[in-house]
Amino acid sequence: MDSMRRIAITALAAASLTTPALAADPPTTPAAAKPFYTKLSNRTTFTRWAYTNLDIKARKSPSSKARSVGKLHFNTEDKRPEIYLALQMYTDAKGIEWVQTQLPGRPNGRLGWVPREGLGEFHLIHTQIVVDRRKLRITLFKNGKQILKAPIGVGKSSTPTPGGNSWIREKLNGFGNAVYGPLAFGTGTYSNKLTDWPGGGVVGIHGTNEPNLIPGRPSHGCIRLKNKDIVSLSHKMAPGTPVLIK
């Protein structure tokens, strides 16, 4: 019996030496992540903005192969740091991030996508300006609640104030021009013709030396406030604030 058992064990050992080993399972490739969008701003109760890191092209869609719709700039026409809103983010299957922003200048309302590295740190604010051209009124909201309301002057029929979504790009003061009051804000909207803004083009929100014309339609496209109101506005909101002109 012992000899027969030894023979069987020897046979099994021999078989194990001649039987090829099973191949290891092939390495699995992780499934590609699904692209997704992230909302960065709703332009009413929360808005993110950033300065420019790179003077790069903005694209029609989040792809380096998409058509160019404009370009980021470091400074405004007044040599202030340019501000861009961060509206939403697109993350592709490889984890590459693109940010949608609005571009200043004509045509108004242009949206474009830039690589995330094209913009700097995001800043979060909770204010919004609404300009009502029919009621000749400006209203400032914070977290959706009204915190300021004032009468305004807007563009006359031949040089109307353009409507649409915009934002405050810069704050200017100390320019010593009584026509524009104690200070002014530059927006991302441009007039189709001209404005009261030095050099033309930009639709500004500023004070006035003719408060008797407010409320009314006396301007070339800019939005005028009485001086006490523009000062009050400056104390309650900062550049980066979204603007809705309706």
By DSSP bridging, strand 183-190 and strand 202-206 are antiparallel
Catalytic residue among 73, 123, 206, 220: 206
Q: How many structural domains are present in the chain?
A: 2
pLDDT of 180 reads: 84
Cα–Cα distance between 243 and 62 in angstroms, integer? 25
CATH code of the domain in which 147 resides: 2.40.440.10
Are 134 and 211 found together in one domain? Answer: yes
Q: 101-124 pLDDT, tens per residue?
A: 999 988 999 999 999 999 999 999
Of 87, 102, 124, the last residue of a domain is 124
- State the distance between the two ends of the chain, measured CA to CA, in whole angstroms: 103
Q: 191-246 pLDDT, tens per residue?
A: 887 676 766 689 999 999 999 999 999 998 999 999 999 999 999 999 999 999 99
Catalytic residue among 73, 123, 220, 222: 222
Evaluate whether residue 212 is within a structural domain: yes
For residue 206, indicate whether it is catalytic.
yes
pLDDT exceeds 50 at position 41: yes
Q: In terms of C-beta density within 10 A (0-12 exposed, 13-18 middle, 19 or more buried), how is residue 230 classed?
A: buried
Of 96, 124, 152, the last residue of a domain is 124
**83 token code pair:** 């501000």
Q: 167-187 pLDDT, tens per residue?
A: 999 999 866 667 889 999 999
Which range marks the domain in which residue 114 is found? Answer: 36-124
For residue 123, indicate whether it is catalytic.
no
Of 124, 159, 193, the last residue of a domain is 124
pLDDT exceeds 70 at position 12: no
Evaluate whether residue 17 is within a structural domain: no
Evaluate whether residue 1 is within a structural domain: no
